[in-house]
Amino acid sequence: MRKSKAETALTRKRIVQAAAQAFRSNGIQATSVAEIMSAAGLTHGGFYRHFTSKEHLVAEACAAGMQSTLLAIGAPEAAGGQAVVDSIGSCLWDTKRDDCLVECPLIGMGSELARADPGTRRAATRGYLELIGSMAARDMSSQGAAIFAFSAIVGAVTISRIVDDPQLARRILDETKRHLAGSRPPRAARREAAAAVPEVRAGADEDAAR
């Protein structure tokens, strides 16, 4: 019996998800098509009904990972470069979202993507540009801030996973947080301070009137 288009799409999605997880965990070169299909609960022979090659699947997995990363980070709360930095940086300093980069292929597959075929690199580039463009959508002048913040986060997380000293790994992340946030207090404290400003000004105006 032939599968419906919806069933075929779901099967394809399962393969992409299994591939993305395997590539992040074991590397692209070390992961075989047979292993991916087994992880997806499918037979090896069904692979070519969905993809022309392993490279085709790598590109799809990369694109899906970038889209998941964009959804996990979310849009900035306001326009401007600092809002963009805050939104991307929250992946490090908000403990409730410290896994928001878990599906980012630039972190999980970065070194191999640099040596990948043109189609895969094109998919990675397109996903990256979509992420940067979405983050800076409210203010196109914020693209530089988005590039800086995302590059800093990807580098920090990647290096923190490479080093074999847990304290050093933690410091790498903490220093990146600190420099992204600058000398300003965390976002919640900034909101409280901003909310208090009108009251202070009102008091100052009353004193001046006296």
Sign of CA dihedral 77, 78, 83, 88: positive
| Residue whose C-alpha is closest to residue 127's, from 63, 73, 74, 71 | 63
Each domain of the chain, given as residue ranges in start order, spans: 1-51, 57-209
Distance CA(163)–CA(171), nearest Å, equals: 11
Task: Fill in the DSSP letter of residue 28.
Answer: S
pLDDT-derived band at 207 (thresholds 50, 70, 90) equals very low
pLDDT-derived band at 178 (thresholds 50, 70, 90) equals confident
Whether the per-residue pLDDT at 4 is higher than 90: the answer is no
Q: Amino acid identity, residue 120?
A: T
Distance CA(28)–CA(123), nearest Å, equals: 15
pLDDT-derived band at 89 (thresholds 50, 70, 90) equals low
Question: What is the mean pLDDT of the segment spanning 5-18?
Answer: 92
Question: What is the mean pLDDT of the segment spanning 19-35?
Answer: 93
Residue-level pLDDT at 15: 96
**CATH number among 1.10.3470, 3.20.20, 2.60.120, 1.10.357, domain 57-209:** 1.10.357
Confirm or reject CATH 1.10.10.60 for domain 1-51, answering yes or no.
yes
Residue 111 burial class via C-beta count within 10 angstroms: exposed 0-12, middle 13-18, buried 19 and up: exposed
pLDDT-derived band at 56 (thresholds 50, 70, 90) equals very high
Sign of CA dihedral 60, 61, 65, 68: positive
Q: Considering the chain, what is the average pLDDT of its residues?
A: 78
